[in-house]
Structure 1
Amino acid sequence: MIDVEKTPYAALLLRVTCGVLFVLHGAYLKFFVFTMAGTTKFFASLGLPEWLAWTVMLYETIGGIALILGIYTRWVALFFAVHLLVITFFVHIGNGWVFSNKGGGYEFPLFWAIVCIALAMMGGGAASAVRAETPGFAR
C-alpha cells in the first residue's frame, strides 16, 4: 500500500539526492578531481571525442541542478536513466559487477539508472518548481 501523504516527500528526497549526486559527479568529480584534461583523456581512451567530456560534465551539472529544484523532473530523470543505461552497457559491463573492479563495474550505474527510472515514473514530488505539462507524463 502506498502512503499518499508521505509519497511526495519521498519523491522530494529521491529527487534532491539524485540531483546532488549528479552535480557532484558532473562538476566536482569531472572538473575538480579528475580535471577536464584528465576527463577528456579518459573519454578519448574509450574511443569517444574529447569534446563529449565537456558536454557530459555540463548536462550532468545542469540536469542535477534541475533535479534539485524540481524542474521537469520526469524528463530529466528519464534522460539520465538512458544516459546511465548507455554507460552501463557500453563502458562498464565488461568490467564485471562490482564497481570497485578495475575500470569500475556496472553495479553502481545500473542501480542509479533504475533509481532514475523510478523517479521518472514517480515525478518530482513536493516542492517541485516546474512540472511537465505533457498529458500522461505530468508532474
Structure 2
Amino acid sequence: MNKKAEFGGLLLRIVLGIIFIGHGADKFQGGISNTVQWFDSIGLPGFLAYMVATIEILGGIALVLGLATRIVGAIFILILAGAIIKVQFAAGFIGGYAYDLALLVMSIYLLLSGSKLFALDNLITKTKHHY
C-alpha cells in the first residue's frame, strides 16, 4: 500500500477510535442504567448495554493504538449493523442511519485493509513495511 493510502487508513483508524471512545464513555457517564433501560425498551437484553459500551471504549482505544485493527473493525461492523437495523433505519436516512452508515463503512475499510502506519501491531508482529 502506498504512503497516501496508509495515511488515510491511519486517519480513519484514529478518528473512528475517538468517536467510539466518546460513544462508550457517554453511555457510562449518562448513567449506564439509563442505557440498560433503553436497551430493554427496544427489545434487547439490558446487559448488552454494558457489553456495547465496554466494547466501544476498549475497541476505540485499540484502534487509536493500532491494536487488532481488523478484529475491532469487524466487531464495530456488527454493533453498527445492529444499531442501523434495530434503531436508526426506522428514523430514515438523514437524522437516522446516515451517521451510523458512515461509521459502518469506515469499519469495513479497516476490516478489509487494516492500518499499519504507527500501529502497535507492527511491534507485536515485528513485520517490516517498506514504503
Place the TM-score, normalised by the shorter chain, in its bin.
0.7 to 0.9
Structure 2 residue aligned with 1:7, among 1, 5, 8? 5
Deviations 1:29-66 (A, max 9, x none): 1111x311211111111111211111111011111111
Instruction: Name the counterpart of 1:130.
Output: 121
Q: Secondary structure at the match of 2:40?
A: helix
- Is 1:119 the counterpart of 2:117? The answer is no
- Is 1:47 the counterpart of 2:43? The answer is yes
Structure 2 residue aligned with 1:90, among 80, 86, 93? 86
- Give the paired residue count: 124
Identity across the alignment (%): 34
Q: Is the 8 A contact 1:7 1:125 kept in 2?
A: no
Q: Is the 8 A contact 2:52 2:79 kept in 1?
A: no
For 1:14, give the aligned amino acid. Answer: L
CA root-mean-square deviation: 1.8
Instruction: Name the counterpart of 2:97.
Output: 106
- TM-score, normalising length from structure 1? 0.82
- TM-score, normalising length from structure 2? 0.86
Q: How far is 1:76 from its partner?
A: 0.7
Q: Which runs of 5+ in 2 are unaligned?
A: 126-131
Q: Secondary structure at the match of 1:98?
A: helix
Distance 2:116 2:4 in 1: 10
**4+ runs of 1 displaced by more than 6 Å?**
none
Distance 1:8 1:97 in 2: 30
Q: How far is 1:84 from its partner?
A: 0.6
- The aligned runs of 1:43-82 (5 Å cut-off) are 43-82=39-78
Distance 1:86 1:40 in 2: 16
Instruction: Name the counterpart of 2:28.
Output: 31
Q: Is the 8 A contact 1:10 1:125 kept in 2?
A: no
Which structure has the higher relative contact order (CA within 8 Å, separation 6+)? 2
Q: Secondary structure at the match of 2:121?
A: coil
